A = this chain, B = another copy of it.
Amino acid sequence: MATTEIRIGGLGGQGVILCGTIIGKASSIYDHRHSVMIQSFGPEARGSSCSAQVMLADRPIGYPYVRRPDILVSMSNDACHKFLPEMKPDGILLYEEELVHLSDDERPARAWGIPATRFAEELGRRMVMNIVMVGFFAGVTGLVSREAAEAAVKDSVPKGTEPLNLQAFAKGYDYGRQLVEKAG
């Protein structure tokens, strides 16, 4: 696989950027691939929406903008509907299923939902929802190994919160693996 383009979208405060950071770091730790993350702060970035572009590749990345995401991670309904039209037809949509509402027409062939906010609340901290999504990303796509992603989580969250965040990761990871296995 030469290059994987990932778009992560959600609301400000949901931890969209940290989600991208962890995926980028994990890929780099995992197999020494190259990875780049872009945040835009331009007029399009004002307001409550927030998005990051992450690119994973086997060689240094010359053009880092994500044009046609292979993978779209959506933590809000607005972000999902904004970025879904850009996704490749065979791309993978990962979405927070209690926040994102998709009609049957809108739902792409490869779409996987997770009640990530509820899982985070069950762990006692709603704000680890983004780490549940990182786990879900790793579990469904296999693009980064569990070990690499866990190392990147530990490396990226505030000191003292590592155990909670690793639990959040495991919740998302296991749920993702189960969905994929059930689907065959």
Tallying the copies of this chain within the complex gives 2
- B-contact bits for A7-39, CB 8 A (1 contact / 0 none): 000000000000001001101110011111111
Give A9 to B28 CA distance when docked, in angstroms: 19
For A34, list chain B residues within 8 Å (CB). Answer: 40-43
Contact of A180 with B by CB under 8 A: no
Give the interface of A toward B (CB within 8 A): 21, 24-25, 27-29, 32-43, 45-46, 60-61, 63-65
Secondary structure of the A side of the interface? mixed
Contact between B64 and A38, CB atoms less than 8 A apart = yes
Q: Which of A27, A33, A43 has the most CB of B within 10 A?
A: A43
Q: With A64-B64, A64-B65 given, is the CB distance from A41 to B46 under 8 Å? A: no
Contact between A40 and B46, CB atoms less than 8 A apart = no
Give A16 to B37 CA distance when docked, in angstroms: 15
Contact between A37 and B36, CB atoms less than 8 A apart = no
Contact between A24 and B39, CB atoms less than 8 A apart = yes
A18 shortest CB reach to chain B, Å: 11
Q: With A64-B64, A64-B65, A65-B64 given, is the CB distance from A36 to B27 under 8 Å? A: no
Give A28 to B64 CA distance when docked, in angstroms: 21
Closest to A24 in B: B41
Contact between A60 and B39, CB atoms less than 8 A apart = no
A183 shortest CB reach to chain B, Å: 30
For A29, list chain B residues within 8 Å (CB). Answer: 46
Contact between B41 and A27, CB atoms less than 8 A apart = yes
For A60, list chain B residues within 8 Å (CB). Answer: 42
